[in-house]
Amino acid sequence: MNATDRTPADLLRSALAADPGRPLVTFYDDATGERVELSVATFANWVAKTANLLQGDLAAGPGDRLALLLPAHWQSAVWLLACASVGVVAEVGGDPAGADVVVSGPDTLEAASACSGERVALALRPLGGRFPQPPAGFADYAVEVPSQGDRFAPFAPVDPDGPGLSVGGEELSHTEVVERARADAAGLGLGPGSRLLSGLGYDTWKGLSAGLYAALAAGGSVVLCRHLDQLDAEGLAKRTEAERVTHTAQ
């Protein structure tokens, strides 16, 4: 990655320029058997569409706060980078009542209803599928995002030193996210081509870094596993070999 990258969105742009075809996020859900692999280009396209939805349809801008009520999931990673692209503060597990926008999975809809602003729901079904019946009071992400533009340009520049991420009671600027991700990548020994397998949740910085930011900062990729505890030792060993995993965070 470039030394001048100061936001997570900058890291993604550099990754896209360097090698758009390489894997960036490989997602497993061991409760359902789902596997999804996203190249840098495919991931960046999802981010662009989501950022356009966030900035356009949801009217969110720099400094607005988004309560992200999603588990460790490839779509959660997309939302994190979309927020960084627009300049919206992603509050992982944040209070919907105090947020301008809430993004909820299927299990947190009741809590998410406390948001008086825009509400978006994700079914978290395989291949990004929609809800069979859209939740009342929510826009269905899978319905709204496909028609969004494939390129994104922010209406206002994102301040790298402005607030970017809130997790575990700590708020970080966009620059601090990048700096911490780089430090974590170095500590783990990650570099270009590294494949980091993570079974950690997204409710802590450690989980976010292992499940997205550190690999992105290093020019590597992540094998993000939800419900990894349902996989036995033999299954984990097979996955590690099949996915060419070089590092593990659990």
Q: What is the CATH number of the domain that holds 103?
A: 3.40.50.12780
Which amino acid belongs to residue 159?
A: D
Angle, in degrees to the nearest 10, between helices 40-52 and 74-86:
60
pLDDT at 140: 98
In a domain, 156, yes or no: yes
Digit-coded pLDDT (tens) for 80-97: 999 999 999 999 999 999
Residue with tokens 């900035």: 55
Question: For the chain, what is the domain count?
Answer: 1
Q: Is residue 38 part of a domain?
A: yes
Q: What is the mean pLDDT of residues 126-152?
A: 95
Residue keyed to tokens 């692999």 = 37
Residue 15 lies in domain: 8-249
Look at residue 129 in the predicted model and tell me its pLDDT. Answer: 92
What is the distance between the alpha carbons of residues 104 and 122, in angstroms, rounded to a whole number?
6
State the pLDDT at residue 3: 75
Q: CA-to-CA distance for 57 and 76, rounded, in angstroms? A: 19
* pLDDT interval class at 110 (50, 70, 90): very high
pLDDT of residue 1: 60
96 assigned to some structural domain: yes
Answer whether residue 231 shows pLDDT above 70. yes
pLDDT above 70: residue 185:
yes
Give the model's confidence band at 143: pLDDT under 50 very low, under 70 low, under 90 confident, else very high.
very high
Segment 14-38 mean pLDDT: 97
SS3 157: coil
Q: What pLDDT, on a 0 to 100 scale, did the predictor assign at position 33?
A: 94
Quote the radius of gyration of the chain (alpha carbons, Å).
Answer: 17
Domain-embedded: residue 2 = no
Alpha carbons within 13 A on the beta-carbon side of 98? 7
pLDDT value for 175: 98
Q: Check pLDDT > 70 for residue 138.
A: yes
For residue 64, pLDDT over 70 is answered with yes
Return the half-sphere exposure (C-beta side, CA atoms, 13 A cut-off) of residue 42: 13
Angle made by CA atoms 235, 238, 242, in degrees to the nearest 5: 140
Q: Is 24 within the bounds of a domain?
A: yes
Alpha carbon distances (Å) from 145 to 57, 76, 114, 196, 228: 10, 14, 23, 28, 29
The angle formed by the CA atoms of residues 8, 154 and 172, to the nearest 5 degrees, is 35
pLDDT on residue 80: 98
| Cα 93 to Cα 77: distance, rounded to the nearest angstrom | 14
Domain contains 3: no
Closest CA to 106 of 134, 77, 127, 67: 134
Residue 126 forms part of a structural domain:
yes
